[in-house]
Amino acid sequence: MTDSPEELAAALDATGYLADDGLATAGFLALRMGRPLFCEGEPGTGKTSLAIALATALGRPLVRLQCHEGIDAAQALYEWDFPRQLLHLRALEAAGDGRVDVETAERSLYTERFLLARPLLQALITAPCVLLIDEIDRADDEFEAFLLQLLDEHAVTIPEYGEVRAEEPPLVVLTSNRTREVHDALKRRCLYHWLEHPDLVREVTILRRRIPLIGEVLARQVAEAVHRLREMDLLKPPGVAESLDWARALMALHRDELDAATAARTLGAVLKYSEDLDRVRAKLDALFA
């Protein structure tokens, strides 16, 4: 356990994740208070990477639940291994020469042996760990309600099995790209932090930290170009991940500097919509003037 936001920032820095004072403080308080950390922001601002870096910095396993439309408890919490249960029943029948005590057979079916732990249950079993609930805004309202007991009690109840409670609560990080508003009942249980894209100096530092062989000139040119792209009216402004992809693409082409001609050939590394590509290509000369 780190003793201050500054210590946590240093631990994250050692993993290659550069957290500003606000984010380091939010992460420290989530750890110290045992509260989930709800991270919201534009795609590519480092929300998912934060959870990964926290797991590495704290020396804890990472358990990740990727949310999607229609996700339900069976996909997120647990399922029973029906094929193995069926084989087990057949084995009991064979051993009993066709006679099986129903109550005994039923008790033997609902044991840990046949329980398939999905991410939420795995986090309770594995704790202490870092539980990443990624893109909660893509899930349905019903799934949010389902999460409340887990966030409140760090426990779930399985009707056929009983209660599973974490010996030590996991550090829960929830992320949202704000495609819809998450309900207040969920947010009230969390500490909240809004992540912005990094400023120019921080983005250059990230590029040089994550790509040690990149030159200072190229790192600054990529960061400056990406910042200009974020100021344009794009469908999907580039995040830090796209900055890194662009820099790696340029290095793969053995480029030490970024100019308009090279940018035109490599825009697919940083922009992912044809409309954005057309809009930027029409303004490349001005972008690199």
24-35 confidence digits (pLDDT tens) = 999 999 999 999
What is the Cα gyration radius of the chain? 24
Residues 88 and 177 in one domain: no
Report yes or no: 57 and 93 within 8 Å, Cβ to Cβ.
no
> Can you give the residue range of the structural domain that contains 57?
5-72+120-195
- Quick check: 98 pLDDT over 60? no
Burial class of 69 by CB neighbour count within 10 A (0 to 12, 13 to 18, 19+): exposed
Residues 12 and 66 in one domain: yes
Residue 239 lies in a domain: yes
Domain boundary among 162, 195, 228: 195
What's the CATH code of the domain at 154? 3.40.50.300
Quote the pLDDT of residue 141: 86
User: Which residue blocks in the chain are alpha helix, DSSP H?
Assistant: 5-14, 21-33, 47-58, 73-76, 82-95, 102-109, 119-126, 141-153, 184-187, 200-210, 216-231, 240-252, 260-266, 274-281, 284-287
Residue 228 lies in a domain: yes
> What's the Cα-to-Cα distance from 249 to each of 195, 258, 270, rounded to whole Å?
26, 11, 10
Residue 96 lies in a domain: yes
pLDDT tier for residue 1 given thresholds of 50, 70 and 90 = low
Residues 37 and 11 in one domain: yes
Residue 220 lies in a domain: yes
Angle between helices 200-210 and 216-231 in degrees, nearest 10: 130
Report yes or no: 186 and 37 within 8 Å, Cβ to Cβ.
no
Quote the pLDDT of residue 71: 92
Residues 45 and 175 in one domain: yes
Domain boundary among 113, 139, 174: 113
Residues 164 and 249 in one domain: no
Residues 183 and 278 in one domain: no
Residue 289 lies in a domain: no
- Quick check: 18 pLDDT over 70? yes
User: 43 φ, ψ to 5°?
Assistant: -55, 140
Amino acid residing at 247: A
Residues 134 and 189 in one domain: yes
Residue 106 lies in a domain: yes
Residues 11 and 68 in one domain: yes
Residue 250 lies in a domain: yes
pLDDT tier for residue 188 given thresholds of 50, 70 and 90 = very high
Query: Across residues 162-168, what is the average pLDDT?
Result: 89
Quote the pLDDT of residue 96: 66
Q: What is the SS3 assignment for 143? A: helix
Residues 57 and 86 in one domain: no
Tell me how long the chain is.
289
Residue 12 lies in a domain: yes
Residues 181 and 64 in one domain: yes
Residues 90 and 160 in one domain: no
Domain boundary among 172, 195, 218: 195
Domain count, the chain: 3
Q: Which residues contact 256 (CB under 8 A, 6 or more apart)?
A: 215, 217, 218
